[in-house]
Amino acid sequence: MLPTDPFSFGVSLPGGIPTRYDNHITRRLSSMPGQFADQPAYAAMLAQEDVLLYEVYEIVRPHVAGELLHGTSIVHPGQVGKEYFMTKGHFHAELETAEVYYCLQGAGMMVMETPEGEWSVQELRPGRVLYVPPRWAHRSVNTSHDQDLITLFVYPGHAGHDYGTIEQQGFRKLVVERDGRPQVVDNPGWRPPAARS
Ligand code: F6R
Ligand code: ZN
């Protein structure tokens, strides 16, 4: 039974695991074919080990407009070629829904774009709150070499997820390491809206 009364929980650091949660989702390298720009590096890495890229701890609430879905997202450090470990990224199926992220630990970037091809990349670091407005697809990228990127997220219960669009077209921008620092570059594989079937 889902609680109908108010409740609270803690988030322990450095782990990022809520003291109460309902679902623990894990995403490995094999779940992101075609998403990293350096495909030979992706294939070589996968041949070695199906590395754990990120985890999500969800507090389950009903998927209705009045509810807020929330939990923690933990992206582990690492790179595929020069590109940092990242989440799949998605649009919300109900496009006109927003999301708030609060960074608890680590260093990273949120890569965002609209269906019309506008883009924005915002820094994530402890104590920063990031507002993802309605219509903006979002992907978290961990730019640290040694720390997990831990964020708390909150979004409307009826938002749903559209992963397919990003799987097909990619994000317009990538975050890669250049001269030891994260840099935002064009994604050579990005397909503009007009080119999509
Ligand atoms: C929910 C949301 C986050 C992400 C999580 C993992 O709408 O944006 O909870 O789900 O950071 O990323 P994805 O869902 O892109 O695999
Ligand atoms: Zn989302």
Ion ligand 2: residues, Cβ under 5 Å: 99
Is the per-residue pLDDT at 197 higher than 80? Answer: no
User: Which residues contact residue 121 at a Cβ distance below 8 angstroms, ignoring those fewer than 6 apart?
Assistant: 109, 110, 111, 112, 173, 175, 184
Separation of CA 188 and ligand 2 centre (Å): 24
User: How much is the pTM?
Assistant: 0.96
Report the share of the chain in percent with pLDDT over 90: 94
Mean pLDDT rounded to a whole number for the chain: 96
Q: Whose CA is nearest to atom 16 of ligand 1?
A: 88
pLDDT of residue 41: 98
Report the share of the chain in percent with pLDDT over 70: 97
> Of 31, 55, 75, 87, which is best to mutate to test ligand 1, by the most ligand atoms within 8 angstroms of its C-beta?
87
Collapsing DSSP to helix, strand or coil, 164 comes out as helix
How do residues 137-185 score in pLDDT, each as one tens digit?
999 999 999 999 999 999 999 999 999 999 999 999 999 999 999 999 9
Single-letter residue type at 11 = V
- In this structure, the residues whose C-beta lies within 6 A of any atom of ligand 1 are 27, 56, 73, 87-90, 99, 138, 140, 153, 155
pLDDT of residue 3: 73
pLDDT-derived band at 1 (thresholds 50, 70, 90) equals low
Collapsing DSSP to helix, strand or coil, 39 comes out as helix
How do residues 66-108 score in pLDDT, each as one tens digit?
999 999 999 999 999 999 999 999 999 999 999 999 999 999 9
Separation of CA 53 and ligand 2 centre (Å): 17
Separation of CA 163 and ligand 2 centre (Å): 10
State the average pLDDT over residues 3-7. 88
